[in-house]
Amino acid sequence: MRQYLRMPRARRSSASPARPRRSDHLSLPQVIAMGVGGMIGGGIFSVLGLAIAQAGHAAPLAFALGGAIALLTGLSYAHLGLSFRSDGGSFTYLEHAFRHPNIAGMGGWLLLAGYVGTLALYAYTFGAYGSALLGQNDPQQAAAHHLLQTLVLLAFLGINLYGVRASGTTELLIVTIKVLILGLFAVIGLWYLDPTQLVPVLDQGTMGLVMGAALIFVAYEGFELIPNAINEMENPERNLGRGIFWAIGITISIYVLVALVAVGNLRPEEIRQYGEYALAVAAQPFLGQAGFLLIGLAALFSTASAINATLFGTARLGKVMAEERELPAAFAFTRRQHTIPWFSLIVITGTTLAFVNLADLSMIASFSSSTFLLVFLAINLSAWRLRKRLGIPAYYPLAGVLLSLSAWVALLNHLWETDHESLYWTGAAYLVVAGAEFLFSRRRLGTCRSPASGRNGPSKKRR
C-alpha cells in the first residue's frame, strides 16, 4: 500500500490558483488532524450502541471492516485530488469521470443529502449527551434532547453567518484533545474489561458483522474533505496520500479499541437501555461518574466542532453546485462584505432541523451510512474509470467498488428485514434527490459532454 501513497506529480495549469505563502501551508500533522477531526466528530459517540446491537461481540471487527472500505476509498480520493486539485471535491471528480452531465449533478445532490444526514447525527448526539448530563427524567429528557439539538444547530448557523472560522492550528488542538480523551478511555478500559463478554466473537453471525459495519459507516465520513484543501497544503504530492492514510489509520485504531472496551464492560441490557449514549455509560465501571462526565463532555465538544466544520463546508459545496447550475442560483448568494453563502447556510440548517426532529437515531444513521456508501462507491468507480490518467492499477478502486456495494446491499437487506420505516424514508429521500436534479439542472437530459472539453474536464468555467 505504501507505494500507492507516493503520488505522482501532477501538472498545474496556468489557471490554477496561486498557492499561499509557505508559512500558510497546512503541515502534515494539520492535514491528519483535519481528517481525524472530520471522522471522530460525533459518530462513534452515538453509533457505538447500534454497532454492538447488530454485530454483538464482533463490533470491533465491524469498525475494522468499515475502516477497510474507507482506506480503499481514501486511496482513490488521494489520486483524484492530486490529479484535479479542485475545491469542488467529489462533485468535480464525478464530472471528469462520467460523460453524462446529470451523473455529477446527482452525485452532488447525494453528497449534500449525506452531509445533512451527518449534521443531523451530530446534532442528535449533542442533544442525547446533553440531556443525559442534565440528568432529566424520561419525559423531560426527551424535551431537553429536542431543545438542545435545535439550539446547537441554530447557534452554529449564527456563527457561520457571522463568519467565524477555525484555523488549522485550532483544529489540530481540538483533535488532540478528543483523541487523548478517547485514548484514555481505551487504555484504562482495557484493564477492566471482562474477557468472557467477548466470546464467542461472531455471536450475531457473519451477516451481523457485515450489517454492523454498514450501519455505522457514517462514522468514517470526513476524510474526503482533505483533498478539498490541496491548494493550501504543504507538499501535496507527499502529504495528501499520507495525510489520508494516517487519518483513517488512527481513526480505525481508536474505533476498534473503544468498541472493544465497550463490549467488554457493558451488558446487553445496558446497551439496549442506553444505546444513544452507551459510550459514556461504558466508562462508569472503571472511571465512575467522572468517566461518564468526561465522555459526555467530550461528546458535546466533539459534535459541536463537527457541526461547525460540516456546516461550513456543506454550504460552500452548495455554492459551487449553484455556480455549476446544479442548484438554484439562490444557493450562490453571498454577503457583499464576505464570501458567506448565507442562503445555502439557511436552507441546509433548516433541512437538518426538520430531519433531526422528525427521525430517530437508527433512521438518521441508516440514511447517512447508505448515502456515503453510495458516494464512495461512485468515487471508487470514478478512480477505476480514470485509472490510466491517474496511473493506478485497476484492482484497488475495483475492490473499493465491490466492498462499498456489498455493504450497501447488506444495509438495505437489514432495513428490509428489521426497519421498514427507515428504508422508506431513505428511498423517499433518494427520489427527492433524483427529482431535484432533473428539475433544477439547466442541461438537457440525455446530452453528453462535448469531446471538445478536452481531458481536463468540462469546458464551462467556474465563476
pLDDT confidence band for 163 (50 / 70 / 90): low
**Cα 1 from Cα 24, distance rounded (Å):** 30
pLDDT of residue 255: 92
pLDDT of residue 389: 92
Question: Domain boundaries in the chain?
Answer: 25-158+165-306+361-444
pLDDT of residue 15: 40
pLDDT of residue 319: 83
pLDDT in tens, 241-284: 999 999 999 999 999 999 999 888 888 777 777 777 888 888 88
Contact 311, 345 (CB under 8 A): yes
Looking at per-residue pLDDT, the higher value among 376 and 22 belongs to 376
**Cα 171 from Cα 182, distance rounded (Å):** 17
C-alpha cell at 388: 490510466
Q: How many CB atoms lie within 10 A of CB 325?
A: 16
Q: Give the chain's radius of gyration (CA, Å).
A: 21
Q: Is 335 exposed, middle or buried (0-12, 13-18, 19+ CB in 10 A)?
A: exposed
Q: What is the mean pLDDT of the chain?
A: 82
Looking at per-residue pLDDT, the higher value among 140 and 236 belongs to 236
**Cα 220 from Cα 458, distance rounded (Å):** 30
Q: How many CB atoms lie within 10 A of CB 153?
A: 25
pLDDT of residue 6: 47
pLDDT in tens, 418-446: 889 999 999 999 998 888 777 776 554 44
Close Cβ partners of 424 (under 8 Å, ≥ 6 residues apart): none
Give yes or no for residue 25 having a pLDDT over 80: no
Close Cβ partners of 218 (under 8 Å, ≥ 6 residues apart): 43, 47, 117, 118, 121, 365, 368, 369, 372
In 3D space, the residue among 169, 4, 2, 15 whose CA is nearest the CA of residue 85 turns out to be 15
Looking at per-residue pLDDT, the higher value among 140 and 318 belongs to 318
Any idea which residue has 490518467 for its cell? 389
pLDDT in tens, 356-409: 999 988 899 999 999 999 999 999 999 999 999 999 999 989 999 999 999 999
> Ramachandran region of residue 325, left (φ > 0), alpha (ψ -120 to 50) or beta?
left
Q: How many residues does the chain have?
A: 463
pTM passes above 0.85? no
Architecture per CATH, 25-158+165-306+361-444:
Up-down Bundle (1.20)
pLDDT of residue 416: 93
**Cα 249 from Cα 239, distance rounded (Å):** 15
